[in-house]
Amino acid sequence: MSQKKNQAIDNNWYQKVDDVADTEAAEVRKSHIAGTGVFAKRDIKKGEIILPVTGKKLHESEISEVDRSQSLLQIDEDWYLMATGTIDDFLNHSCDPNLAFTPDGQSFFALRDIAKEEELSWDYSTCENDGEWKMKCLCGSPKCRGYVTGFPALDESTRQRLLPLAQPYLRKLYG
């Protein structure tokens, strides 16, 4: 199972960037990472909850080949959230992100103070449990790992660092 957010340019919902509802703190715009991204509309304080994690909940057995070309966010061993075109679907990956999952896995919160206009991002490895999956990373961070991978493929020190920020099912599996 792979999460292909950055390659999802052929999806219908992806084309309708102008129709994506902003929130009070975030909006969708062109990004240097992958064409489109989500940006801070105002200064954000460390610890603030910024966006809910949304999507259509699908069991592994319900996911078709078409769905597999969409953005999928893994939330349990056989469960995924499929992108439905809401603002959280446009968040790009970064190896040095400014957002992460809240402990319940249902929202993104600010890992640090974020300035107005900064691109918002999270680490895709904190939800994906497929050890075979990898995607070339375009984040451009000095801390870039080169490839975005599933959680099991991370090196031990990265895994330990990211574990508290991972989806709850991963904390159970690897904690």
Q: Give the single-character DSSP code of 118.
A: P
**Cβ of residue 99: shortest distance to Zn ion, in angstroms?**
15
Complex with Zn ion: residue 45 or 136, whichever CB lies closer: 136
Complex with Zn ion: residue 70 or 149, whichever CB lies closer: 149
**Cβ of residue 72: shortest distance to Zn ion, in angstroms?**
19
Complex with Zn ion: residue 82 or 144, whichever CB lies closer: 144
Per the CB < 8 A criterion, the answer to whether 105 and 148 are in contact is: no
CA-to-CA separations, 150 to 14, 73, 76, 123, 128, in angstroms, rounded: 24, 11, 13, 10, 5
Complex with Zn ion: residue 58 or 139, whichever CB lies closer: 139
Q: Which of 2, 17, 16, 91 is nearest to 50 (CA)?
A: 91
**Cβ of residue 81: shortest distance to Zn ion, in angstroms?**
22
Binding site for Zn ion (CB under 5 A): 95, 137, 139, 144
CB atoms within 10 A of CB 47: 10
Residues forming a β-bridge with 147: 136
**Cβ of residue 37: shortest distance to Zn ion, in angstroms?**
14
Complex with Zn ion: residue 58 or 120, whichever CB lies closer: 120
Per the CB < 8 A criterion, the answer to whether 95 and 141 are in contact is: yes
**Cβ of residue 35: shortest distance to Zn ion, in angstroms?**
16
Per the CB < 8 A criterion, the answer to whether 127 and 40 are in contact is: no
